[in-house]
């Protein structure tokens, strides 16, 4: 909304200064230069949050694998505000950082989200985690995968498979699935992901 207003600001100001709009009004209240500057600061501070929201909302099948890297990157971006000249930007980032730091804090939540990220080819290196956390996550994934493999193997051995007398019906031909997601949406989502996470986290 703020971006749209700033884009249309010249037209809005021209309309407000028009005699047809003013009519008998002695004074028209508009934004001052300070107000406009504050609006620009708000847009700058909230851009990472906007990109993250668009990224998740435009995913055709949003998955949990994005949460951990996005969460870590947003907190990192909000902490890196010491060089900001604007007091408003620093304050907005500080408040957002405090709020994000309270989310996904339990061991169960962080473990699950880190495991999800490790199974995604884009984030499998887990660059947003410390070395200790990475090794712990990999170890947990390997342990759980081994446990599942043993469970499946045991179930196969226990089950009685009678294939000799079963006639196998012909399977329908599998045609190539068409991608429902438009190319433009994919390209935009990829661009947003690179803008948010950069090369370091991909």
Give the pLDDT confidence of 5-56 residue by residue, as tens digits.
888 888 877 777 777 766 665 666 677 888 888 989 999 999 999 999 988 8
**Total count of domains within the chain:** 1
Q: Which of 98, 97, 143, 135 is nearest to 114 (CA)?
A: 135
Question: Token pair for residue 23?
Answer: 């009519």
Residue 52 lies in a domain: yes
195/167: higher pLDDT: 195
In-domain check, residue 158: no
Give the three-class secondary structure for 138: helix
pLDDT at 144: 93
55-96 pLDDT, tens digit per residue, is 888 877 778 999 999 999 999 988 876 667 788 899 999 999
Angle at 93 between CA 108 and CA 124, to 5 degrees: 40
113-145: burial string, b at 16+ Cβ within 10 Å, e else = bbbbbbeeeebeebebbeeeebeebeeebeeee
Q: Does any domain span residue 94?
A: yes
Whether pTM > 0.75 for this model: the answer is: no
Which residues form the domain of 106?
2-15+32-152+188-197
- Residue 21: inside a domain, yes or no? no
In angstroms, the CA 167 to CA 138 distance is 43
Domain assignment present for residue 50? The answer is: yes
For residue 50, the surrounding DSSP H or E stretch is helix 33-58
| Tokens describing residue 194 | 């690179």
99: left (phi over 0), alpha (psi -120 to 50) or beta: alpha
Asked whether residue 37 is domain-assigned, the answer is yes
Taking the CA atoms of residue 140, residue 144, residue 145 and residue 148 in that order, the dihedral angle to the nearest 10 degrees is 180
Do 161 and 23 form a contact (C-beta atoms < 8 A)? no
Query: Do the domain assignments include residue 174?
Result: no
Distance CA 9, CA 43 (A): 15
DSSP 84: -
């Amino acid at each position: 909304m703020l971006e749209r207003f700033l884009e249309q600001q010249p037209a809005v100001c021209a309309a407000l200064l028009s005699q047809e709009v003013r009519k008998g009004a002695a004074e028209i209240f508009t934004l001052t230069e300070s107000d406009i500057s504050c609006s620009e600061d708000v847009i700058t501070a909230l851009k990472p949050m906007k990109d993250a929201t668009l990224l998740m909302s435009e995913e055709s099948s949003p998955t949990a694998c994005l949460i951990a890297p996005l969460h870590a990157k947003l907190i990192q971006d909000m902490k890196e505000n010491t060089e900001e000249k604007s007091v408003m930007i620093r304050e907005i980032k500080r408040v957002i950082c405090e709020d994000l730091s309270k989310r996904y804090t339990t061991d169960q939540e962080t473990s699950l989200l880190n495991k999800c990220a490790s199974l995604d080819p884009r984030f499998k290196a887990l660059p947003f985690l410390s070395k200790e956390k990475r090794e712990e996550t990999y170890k947990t994934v390997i342990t759980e995968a081994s446990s599942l493999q043993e469970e499946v193997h045991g179930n196969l051995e226990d089950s009685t498979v009678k294939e000799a007398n079963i006639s196998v019906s012909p399977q329908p031909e599998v045609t190539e699935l068409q991608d429902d997601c438009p190319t433009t949406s994919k390209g935009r989502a990829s661009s947003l992901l690179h803008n948010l996470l950069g090369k370091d986290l991909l």
